[in-house]
Amino acid sequence: MKAIVSGGIALAALFSATAGAQAADSLTLQLKWVTQGQFAGYYVAHDKGFYDEAGLDVDILPGGPDVAPTQVIAGGGADVIVEWMPAALAARERGVPLVNIAQPFKASGMELTCRKDTDIASPADFKGKTLGVWFSGNEYPFLSWMSKLGLSTEGGAEGVTVIRQGFNVDPLIQKQADCISTMSYNEYWQVLDAGIPADELTVFKYQDQGVATLEDGLYATEETLADPEMVDALARFVKATMRGWAYAAENPDEAAQIVLDNDMTGAQTEAHQKRMVGEVIKLVGDSDGTLDVAAADNTVAVLLGGGSDPVITKAPEGAWTSAVTDKMKTMP
Amino acid sequence: MSGVLAVAAVIAIGAVFLLRWLSAIAAGAGSRWLNLAIPLIFGATLLLLWELLTRGLGVPAVLLPPPSQIVARIVASSGLLWADFVQTFMKAVLIGYALGCGLGFMTALAVDRYPFLKRGLLPLGNFASALPIIGVAPIMVMWFGFDWPSKAAVVVLMTFFPMLVNTVAGLAAAGPMERDLMRTYAGGYWQTLWRLRLPAAMPFVFNALKINSTLALIGAIVAEFFGTPIVGMGFRISAEIGRLNTDMVWAEIAVAAVAGSASYALLALAERRVTFWHPSQRI
């Protein structure tokens, strides 16, 4: 009896020791939208074992129409989120202490796509037209742009009529809106798939209009960043994530397949995902994950220049940190 | 923190004792004032506890704002709330409610008159009621556009079936003795309907009207999640929650609650007048 008990204790100690040695840091990542090529880097890093090699056990939570990542992290449902800077800064002003730790997307993919037969040739022609916007945190760049153009969003002949479009391109196809918001990697191609050829569309890229804001970035709370072990884990996470993006850039079709394998809804198609991964790679560019502070300041300037309805009322302090990316660069 | 919890516990226990004492008095010699005071005190205590716990325990405002912040927001954004109320309630809800209940009522009369419709139409009504609003709303937006007509269409779909079923049941409620009496008076179909069967059906009809008032408000608000101009209660709730302005969300919830309660109370009042003869109104 005594032998069995002591043997059992020894065995338990052995297991716990090995378990302690192999204990991976677990992180929960909340994506900004549903599983799709926009997040190829994360899924590639997960499925190709880059996170495992970095000693991380990453749980990727897909988002969706009713999931606001800032809310999820405010409620403690995630350690790190993928979010756009305007929404993150707005959340920070409302008391959620989010801090940008990395910026995988260098360029902005947001566009306003109009039908050519609405005779909109330049932003000055927006007056009196109906424009579709997503809301749920995605309306900030649009509101800043309208403010910059001096157009009221209340409607009427001197302003623009804004409708809240669902997450589809129906308003353009049904002619319920003259222009709709599209992402260069997603909805734009849905419009083409729906049968409207590219030569019947006029596209305004936010990047070209000078009102682009930083999009997919990684954010964590100040509380998380106060823990050095978490900073270390996040640094490994960002490094493995950028490895994932680099792999996706070299193997876009395989990355698209990995995204499809992770899509629980079965709603995504291979052709659409391959296209999306191809377009998103362009937005990531040669980013190594480090946030370009000049670009961040530019985003803040765009948001503060919101005029009558500014997205944020004052310049944010401590809204981004290089602590994680600096630590990442010291790693082999 | 323990201090806050202790104070909250004291208030809660004190309120419970006060309410029990008042209820005992009301049970004995109930006065109207007392019947009003008890729920008011209960509600006030809940609000007080809410305020105390959110402020005292430092609950982040993005998760649960204190009532004082919500009231401040209601006052500050009253113009916006009124515009949303007009868009959702006055346009989508009222018009959809009138159309849906009217349609249900007319269909019930037709079903009663022509038995073959009972076999054919009633199951279809059953089917229409089972359509999930989340699936129907985007289709309505595609058919009727982004503005309030699509929301009214959703409300019509939701209110049609309860009204149909309740009216059909109500029309069968007049007793056989009374119907025989009308026959001996040589009353025709329409006379019997107007003088006997419709008044007898009123308790059922009002039942449906009260159910539908709740459904209509829910339907209109949820339908606005799927495509709307940038005004309306459903739009405001979903847009402001995306911006983490939870106090505005609660302000809209409060407006919706007041609107729903007020319409229910109006219907209950009308019911008391119309169905004064019914045992439920004579207690």
User: Min CA distance, B229 vs chain A (Å)?
Assistant: 4
Mean pLDDT value of segment B71-96: 94
For residues B275 and A130, what is the distance between their CA atoms, to the nearest angstrom?
Answer: 50
Inform me whether the pLDDT recorded for B67 exceeds 90.
yes
Same-domain status, B112 and B11 = no
pLDDT of residue A7: 59
- With respect to residue B66, please indicate whether it lies within any of the assigned structural domains: no
Which of B273, B258, B260 has the alpha carbon at shortest distance from B70? B258
Domain A23-107+214-330 = CATH 3.40.640.10: no
Here the tokens at position A273 are: 């995902």
Domain membership of residue B64 (yes or no) is no
Contacts of B271 (CB under 8 A, 6+ apart): B202, B203, B206, B209, B210, B281
- Residue A327 and residue A54 in contact, taking contact as beta carbons nearer than 8 Å: no
Every domain range in chain A assigned CATH 3.40.190.10: 23-107+214-330, 110-209
Residue ranges of chain A whose pLDDT lies below 70: 1, 3, 5-23, 306-311
pLDDT tens track for B34-63? 888 888 999 999 999 999 999 888 887 778
Q: Are residues B207 and B85 in the same domain?
A: yes
Q: Under 8 Å CB-to-CB from B31, ≥6 apart: which residues?
A: none
The tens digit of pLDDT for each residue in B154-194 reads 999 999 999 999 999 999 998 899 999 999 999 999 999 99
Give B225→chain A minimum CA distance, Å: 8
In this structure, are B52 and B158 located in the same domain? no
* Nearest chain A alpha carbon to B145: A176
Residue pair B132/B139 in contact by the 8 Å Cβ criterion: no
Domain covering A110-209 in this structure, CATH number: 3.40.190.10
The 10s digit of each residue's pLDDT in B213-229 is 999 999 999 999 888 88
Using a CB-CB distance cutoff of 8 angstroms, which residues of chain A are in contact with residue B142?
Answer: 170, 174
| Distance (Å, whole) CA B244 – CA A294 | 27
Encoded tokens for B49? 């506890």
What distance in Å separates the CA atoms of residue A305 and residue A210, rounded to the nearest whole number? 12
Best interface-test mutation with A: which of B143, B150, B237, B243 has the largest number of A CBs within 10 A? B243
CB count within 10 Å of CB B79 equals 8
List the single residue in A with minimal CA-CA distance to B243: A137
Option in A96, A138, A161 nearest B244 (CB): A96
B134-159: pLDDT as tens digits: 888 889 988 998 889 999 999 999 99
Cα–Cα dist B215/B154, whole Å: 10
Whether residue B274 lies inside any domain: the answer is: yes
CATH number of the domain encompassing residue B258: 1.10.3720.10
ipTM above 0.85, yes or no: no
Burial of residue A175, with CB atoms counted within 10 A of its CB: 0-12 exposed, 13-18 middle, 19 or more buried: exposed
Which residues from chain A sit within 8 angstroms of residue B235, using beta carbons? 135, 164
The reply to whether residue A176 touches residue B244, judged by beta carbons under 8 angstroms, is no
Q: Contact, B102 vs B156, CB < 8 A?
A: no
Give the residue from chain A lying closest to B58, CA to CA.
A95
Query: Both B166 and B212 in a single domain?
Result: yes
Cβ of A164 and B235 within 8 Å? yes
For residue B26, CA distances in Å to A156, B14, B41, B102, B263 come to 58, 18, 14, 41, 27
Average pLDDT, chain B: 90
Residues B120 and B194 both lie in one domain:
yes
Chain B residues within an 8 Å CB radius of A94:
61-62, 243-245
**Both B221 and B268 in a single domain?**
yes
The pLDDT of residue B242 is above 90? no
The number of domains in chain B is: 2
pLDDT value for A20: 43
Q: Which long-range contacts (CB under 8 A, 24 or more apart) does A67-73 make?
A: A67/A30, A68/A136, A68/A137, A68/B241, A68/B242, A68/B244, A69/A30, A69/A31, A69/A32, A69/A219, A70/A96, A70/A98, A70/A137, A70/B244, A71/B62, A71/B241, A71/B244, A72/A30, A73/A30, A73/A98, A73/A219, A73/A220, A73/A221
**Across the interface, do A96 and B242 touch by the CB < 8 Å criterion?**
no
Q: Are residues B159 and B196 in the same domain?
A: yes
User: Nearest C-alpha of chain B: how many angstroms from A172?
Assistant: 11
Residue B271, in any domain of the structure: yes
**B78 shares its domain with B16:** no
Structure tokens at B262: 């007020």
Q: Which of A59, A91, A80, A89 has the alpha carbon at shortest distance from A227?
A: A80
Same domain, B190 and B276: yes
- How many angstroms separate the CA atoms of B278 and B283, rounded? 9
User: Which whole-number Å values give the CA distances from A331 to A10, A220, A227, A275, in the listed order?
Assistant: 36, 20, 18, 33
- Contact A171/B244, CB-based, under 8 Å? no
Task: Identify which of B214, B205, B223 has the alpha carbon closest to the alpha carbon of residue B131.
Answer: B223
Q: Is B64 on the interface with A (CB under 8 A)?
A: no
User: Chain A to chain B, count of Cβ pairs less than 8 Å apart?
Assistant: 70
Same domain? B103 vs B234: yes
Most confident region among A61-75, B72-86, B239-253 by mean pLDDT: B72-86
Same domain, yes or no, for B28 and B151? no
Two structure tokens written together for B91: 């346009």
CB A96 within 8 A of CB B60: yes
Q: Say if the Cβ atoms of A95 and B61 lie within 8 Å.
A: yes
pTM (two decimals): 0.79
Same domain, B53 and B78: no
Work out the widest C-alpha separation in chain B, in whole angstroms.
78
Which residues constitute the domain of residue B274? 74-281
Query: Are residues B239 and A170, on separate chains, in Cβ contact within 8 Å?
Result: no
Helix B67-76, helix B246-274: angle, nearest 10:
80
In a domain? residue B65 = no
On whether any CB of chain A is under 8 Å from the CB of B141, the answer is: yes
Question: From B225, which residue of chain A is nearest by alpha-carbon distance?
Answer: A166
